[in-house]
Amino acid sequence: MTGARKVLVTGGAGFIGANFVRYWSDKYPSDRIVVLDALTYAGNRANLESVEDRDTYRFVHGNILDPAVIGDTMQREAIDTIVHFAAESHVDRSIHEPDAFIQTNVIGTNNLLMAARKHWIDSDSAPANHLFHHVSTDEVYGTLGPGDPAFTEQTLYAPNSPYAASKAASDHLVRSYHHTFGMQVTTSNCSNNYGPYQFPEKLIPLMIVNALTGKALPVYGDGSNIRDWLYVDDHCRGIDLVMNKGRVGATYNIGGNNEWRNIDIVNQLCSSIDAAFAANEQLAVQFPQAPAAKGQKTESLVCFVADRLGHDWRYAIDATLAESELGYKPEEDFESGFQLTLNWMLQNEGWWRAVMDGSYRDWISRNYSAES
């Protein structure tokens, strides 16, 4: 699309969404960005603090299960582009409470698609151009064995958790709106993200917080499961390329070429934390509960716990299509991305303590009273 866009970012107060909003507003300062977010436990306006004062930005506190708020926002803002991040995103939660995943990830996505169809296809005042970009995951492809080739865009869907099944359903809905109604859509399926502002329930931030506060580091099963790790800024760059250069109706895999066993990630994290404490005496004062503050090894906190039900063994993304068609290439390797993430967590203790106990809500209401 050319000219300034009016972009609706659903789930923009979550981990990847907030990183994307900052990325996009820096790169495309003339675009209008409207964040629509229900502020579940995973959504924090504090994540968007750096863009709150821009006059091209607006926050709408609303739920994608509410068709009225979607329709009103699309109409009032004349939205021509949707980037859809909003989802329930944590596999363990989907095992305990799948219903919220079906509601938000399936019904919520369909609500957005219905609103987009109404405003972009069935309306007399439809914008000249439009795009619905859907953010999905490698988990829709199921699990791999040790010698299997990485997932390509041709790999058959075989979702194994309620989370993965709900994302697979949403991918199919997006595809069907393109095929049936001619909606201009793109989809990206990416591997495990990590980086600043990730809620400390996912492996990397959880392990960092536990290591700094002297709590156990719970490795599921024997720790041999493999994930393909992608630094969040590389994901944002990948989405940008898909939206601006991708073929309408196409799906692109985005990955980091970074396969790691969970136990190796945890061990690497432990030695990086030990090294950080050795290099900076102040950390022992700031985090007195950490083993590294008491001359012990962080690794002493590692414990093996019961495996996740239905735990997928390995994910790996083949991003050849995005590389060859779009010029996509991740910039961070795991060592550099991990160091950036650890440094951010060490410097932002206030953020992770506040999002974990919910007190960021007080902070945000002191700083930003205007929620629509």
CA torsion, ordered 230, 231, 232, 233, to nearest 10 deg: -120
Cα separation, 77 vs 64, in Å, equals 16
Put residue 310 in one of left, alpha, beta given phi > 0 → left and psi -120 to 50 → alpha: left
Q: Please, what is the minimum distance in Å from the beta carbon of residue 101 to ligand TDX?
A: 11
The residue (of 80 and 88) whose beta carbon lies closer to ligand TDX is 88
The three-point CA angle 358-360-365 to 5° equals 120
The residue (of 61 and 308) whose beta carbon lies closer to ligand TDX is 308
Q: Residues 6 or more apart from 338 whose CB is under 8 A from it?
A: 194, 204, 268, 269, 272
Question: Does residue 13 bind ligand NAD (CB under 6 A)?
Answer: yes
Cβ atoms of residues 141 and 202 within 8 Å = no
Identify the residue among 11, 159, 238, 291 touching ligand NAD (CB under 6 A).
11
Cβ atoms of residues 253 and 318 within 8 Å = yes
Identify the residue among 90, 93, 118, 175 touching ligand TDX (CB under 6 A).
90
C-alpha distances in Å from residue 250, one per residue of 42, 185, 192, 321: 29, 8, 21, 11
String of contacts with ligand TDX for each residue 256-285, x by CB under 6 A: ------x-----------------------
3-state SS class at 117: helix
Identify the residue among 34, 39, 46, 113 touching ligand NAD (CB under 6 A).
39
Q: Residues 6 or more apart from 136 whose CB is under 8 A from it?
A: 167, 170, 171, 187, 188, 189, 190
- Of these partners, ligand NAD, ligand TDX, none, which one is at the site of residue 246 (CB under 5 to 8 Å by kind)? none
String of contacts with ligand TDX for each residue 303-322, x by CB under 6 A: -----x--------------
Residue numbers 198-257 binding ligand NAD by CB under 6 A:
199
Cβ atoms of residues 16 and 235 within 8 Å = yes
3-state SS class at 47: helix
Question: Does residue 65 bind ligand NAD (CB under 6 A)?
Answer: yes
- Choose among 104, 144, 324, 126: nearest CA to 227: 144
Q: Is 80 a catalytic residue?
A: no
Q: Which of 37, 88, 138, 274 is catalytic?
A: 138
Q: Please return the burial class of 1, using the count of CB atoms within 10 Å of its CB with bins 0-12, 13-18 and 19+.
A: middle
- Of these partners, ligand TDX, ligand NAD, none, which one is at the site of residue 85 (CB under 5 to 8 Å by kind)? ligand NAD
String of contacts with ligand NAD for each residue 70-109, x by CB under 6 A: ---------------xxxxx--------------x---x-
Identify the residue among 5, 15, 81, 243 touching ligand NAD (CB under 6 A).
15
Question: Does residue 91 bind ligand TDX (CB under 6 A)?
Answer: yes
Report the catalytic residues.
138-139, 163
Residues that bind ligand TDX (CB under 6 A): 89-91, 137, 139, 192, 202-203, 206, 218-220, 225, 227, 262, 308
Residues that bind ligand NAD (CB under 6 A): 10-11, 13-17, 37-40, 42-43, 63-65, 85-89, 104, 108, 135, 137, 167, 190, 192-193, 199
